[in-house]
Amino acid sequence: MTATVPLAVERPTGGLAAARANLALAWADPIGRAGFALLGFTFLVAILGPVVFPFDPTEVGTSAASILQAPTAQHWLGTDELGRDVFRETIAGSQVSLLVGLLATAISMIVGTMAGLGAGYSRGLVGAVLVRITDFFLVLPTLPLIIVLAAIAGQSLGIIIVVIGLTSWASTARIVRSQILSLRERVFIERVRALGATDLRIAVVHILPNVLPLVFANTVLVIAGSILAEATLAFLGLGDPVHVSWGTMLHFAFEVGAAGRGAWWYLLPPGIGIVVVVLGFTLVGYTLDRILNPRLRNR
């Protein structure tokens, strides 16, 4: 039976060349390209912005008129409730959002991939327990969980990153597991097992590279979710008080009633910042998912 399967079909699809090919396909798609453009813009702002327009959080307004001031030549996007420059504050906020999004996703990916590998490859008790734990985290409502953990653990950037990372890995684990369940029955895996490879070696050397592309598409979507989670947490007053993020800005804008006072310059910039970066990752993730997910291909 195995002899009739052509070798080419069984060639592993992972690796750097495949990743580059997939990114090129995503770039060729108009939706994907729009996503890359938004991300390029955001990263440019986050890296160069604070150098060109540095933000000093201690530089507060000195008069009543300088508070929640509409845009002027001096303050392009007006001032916040302490009389600070909203334009510079928004640029500074981009760094916190991206940092939390990327690092939380890194934790989420590592935990999710390992849990998924274990759940998919171990047929014994370990696998069964990992499946149960994954399902448990999959049904727990994420935002209440994050709020509760942040309320108990405290409000530093490090804790926020860990909390978001440890609550968002379940979907990754599920994707990895279902991929492995289909992969481990494939012929090339049976061949390396026949050659005497250990379970661990098969999992890490032969299965992991084949799972990674789909994990990659999922990663991009998890980054979008993590950035939204950080913004929401900060908006609810559970952000890091030292490092101002877009969510923190909107928290204070809400607290001082910026909407009722018509202070659109305080509401729009941080919100648009969040939408631009989240939309960027969502568009790229959606496109990659369509390219990489065999069930969705050609849609």
Partner 1 sequence: MGGLRYLGRKLVQVALTLLAVVTFNFYLFHVLPGDPIKLLARAGNLQPEDIARLRELFGLDQSLPVQYLVYLRDLATGNLGMSLTYRQPVVDILAERIVNTVELLAAATVLVIIIGVVVGVIAAARRGTRVDTASVVTSLLFWSLPTFWTGLMLIFILGVWLHAFPISGSGTPGVVYASLGAQVVDFGAHLVLPTLTLVLVDIGQFVLITRSSLIDVLTEDFILTARAKGLSSSQVLWRHGVPNALLPVITTSALYVGLVVGGAIQVETVFSWPGMGRLIYDSVLRRDYPLIEATFLVFAMTVILTNFATDLLYMWIDPRVRNA
**Which residues contact partner 1 by CB under 8 A?**
31, 132, 135-136, 139-145, 147-149, 151-152, 224, 228, 231-232, 235-238, 250, 253-254, 259-260, 262, 264, 267, 271, 274-275, 278-279, 282-283, 286, 295-296, 299
**Closest residue by Cα to residue 36 from 289, 292, 282:** 282
Let me know: does 123 contact 210? Beta carbons within 8 Å: no
Kindly tell me which of 84 and 290 has the beta carbon lying closer to partner 1: 290
**79 backbone dihedrals φ, ψ, rounded to 5°:** -130, 160
CB of 139 to partner 1, least distance (A): 5
Cβ partners under 8 Å of residue 14, min gap 6 = 208, 209, 210, 211, 212, 213
Position of tokens 């149960």? 132
**What are the C-alpha distances in Å from 143 to residues 163, 226, 229, 274?**
11, 11, 7, 17
CB atoms within 10 A of CB 253: 25
- Residue 275 in tokens: 């939408």
Kindly tell me which of 135 and 190 has the beta carbon lying closer to partner 1: 135
**Closest residue by Cα to residue 96 from 156, 147, 185:** 156
Kindly tell me which of 124 and 144 has the beta carbon lying closer to partner 1: 144
Kindly tell me which of 201 and 261 has the beta carbon lying closer to partner 1: 261
Kindly tell me which of 206 and 251 has the beta carbon lying closer to partner 1: 251
